Amino acid sequence: MQKAVSITKTIFLVIFYHSLSIVSSVDTLKQGDRLNSSTYLVSANGVFTLGFYSPQNTNRVYLGIWFNYTYGPIWLWNRDKPIIDNSGVLTISSTMKLIINSSGGGPIDLYANENGMNITATLLNSGNFVVKEMSINGFGDKVLWQSFDYPTDTLLPRMKLGVNLMTGRNWSITSWFSENNPAAGAFTLEWDPSRHRLIIRRREVVYWTSGDLKDYIDEDRPDLKLKKFENIGYGYDPYNFIYNFVNVTKDDEDYMSYFLETDPNRTPDNKKISGWKLNYDCFVLLL
């Protein structure tokens, strides 16, 4: 039997993060910079912050990205390998590695630059944390690594769900294990390239499907050519953008993504990012 999955508008109380002191508004980490438990990167638009995060009532610490108007991270790097104290330091080493060092365990690599070129790491306005190779003129050109390729439990606009057919990399999001434990949980939202639909698996067993991606007309924007999934319903929200889902099928990859269309008759709320968070109980929360 088809199971119902609701997308729930969620209001998070800002209890924890606004009590923190963001000591720097820079968005980029360079060689020699050190990001520790009291320093942060902030995207240029002020929407996203990257730093070390610890769930309430635990001593586990993770490198994470959070949206500044919600309580809880949207991305964690070391979800299955937490640091056991607040000694973690993110840095770009002399060998051009983006790495976390701590006194409580071995180093945790994010990216290792094999050619030795200078690199920087920047938190973009989209919430994507990217490593770029620095060109001779000092500007980063080539993206070498990005957090969007390693999603946790939250899907943001322009992120991919799907598969890279050349490398075998699968882009999917996986719920937390429990409310305060971000380790990989029971539910995974992924793209089914064989049938071009979204599916949620519960421990590898298909639990829910989105149905087909079909043409859709928004009453407020009949001029737009939109697509939506037949088993996903959306309540009216005057502050949200209009979703436009796309499926891209190429020789090297097959994926689903979505974009946000603005409506001149609506005022977008800059306290929303229209991200999807797969909760530990399988509810998909709209941020």
Helix (H) or strand (E) holding 213, with range, is strand 213-218
Determine the Cα angle at 30 with ends 27 and 33, to 5°: 95
For the chain, what are the domain ranges?
Answer: 11-148, 151-287
Q: What is the 3-state secondary structure (H, E, C) of 44-108?
A: CCCCEEEEEECCCCCCCEEEEEEECCCCCEEEECCCCCCECCCCCEEEECCCCEEEEEECCEEEE
Q: Which tens digit of pLDDT belongs to each residue from 73-86?
A: 999 999 999 999 99
Give the predicted TM-score (pTM) of the model: 0.86
What percentage of the chain's residues is helix, strand, coil (to nearest 5)? 0, 50, 50
Give the pLDDT confidence score for residue 6 in this predicted structure: 46
Q: What is the DSSP letter of 2?
A: P
Of 178, 196, 186, the C-alpha closest to 246 is 196
Give the pLDDT confidence score for residue 241 in this predicted structure: 66
Domains 11-148 and 151-287 share a fold: yes
Of 106, 105, 157, 116, the C-alpha closest to 286 is 157
Sites in the chain below the pLDDT cut of 50? 1-2, 4-24, 236-238
Separation between Cα atoms, residue 31 and residue 120, nearest integer Å: 7
Average pLDDT, whole number, for the chain? 84
Give the pLDDT confidence score for residue 228 in this predicted structure: 85
The second-level CATH assignment, the architecture, of 11-148 is: Orthogonal Prism (2.90)
Q: Report the topology of domain 151-287.
A: Agglutinin, subunit A (2.90.10)
Separation between Cα atoms, residue 154 and residue 135, nearest integer Å: 32
Give the pLDDT confidence score for residue 8 in this predicted structure: 44
Give the pLDDT confidence score for residue 16 in this predicted structure: 37
